[in-house]
Amino acid sequence: GEDVEQSLFLSVREGDSSVINCTYTDSSSTYLYWYKQEPGAGLQLLTYIFSNMDMKQDQRLTVLLNKKDKHLSLRIADTQTGDSAIYFCAESVSNTDKLIFGTGTRLQVFP
């Protein structure tokens, strides 16, 4: 079945770049997404990429997609303390109305 995997934790220094990685299994996914969750809150859509794209940049965020390896990454440039949160990768399941979420990566930014 479909599965999305992420590492659980990432710790970076303020001002450095953060790279959060994700692998997925459904090669026919149409869209892949990155969501951010702050403590005790719902998820907020950060960005998404269509499956026929390799890269998408949106201000400090860069998404890279390697379809051959089924690997997705989110790079946050100039990471700030306000970026500390849990980041979820998600894939759309082809021919359904469902999204499959990864386990989430907890990003901690220290001064």
Partner 1 sequence: DGGITQSPKYLFRKEGQNVTLSCEQNLNHDAMYWYRQDPGQGLRLIYYSQIVNDFQKGDIAEGYSVSREKKESFPLTVTSAQKNPTAFYLCASRPTGVTEKLFFGSGTQLSVL
At closest approach, how far in Å is the CB of 99 from partner 1? 6
Q: Among residues 85 and 100, whose Cβ is nearest to partner 1?
A: 100
Q: Among residues 8 and 69, whose Cβ is nearest to partner 1?
A: 8
At closest approach, how far in Å is the CB of 15 from partner 1? 29
Q: Among residues 71 and 98, whose Cβ is nearest to partner 1?
A: 98
Task: Kindly list the residues in this chain that would bind partner 1 in the complex (CB under 8 A).
Answer: 4, 8, 30-31, 33, 35, 40-45, 48, 88, 92, 97-104
Q: Among residues 14 and 46, whose Cβ is nearest to partner 1?
A: 46
At closest approach, how far in Å is the CB of 37 from partner 1? 9
* Cβ–Cβ under 8 Å, residues 48 and 34: yes
* HEC profile of the chain: CCCEEECCEEEEECCCCEEEEEEECCCCCCEEEEEEECCCCCEEEEEEEECCCCEEEECCEEEEEECCCCEEEEEECCCCHHHCEEEEEEEECCCCCCEEECCCEEEEEEC
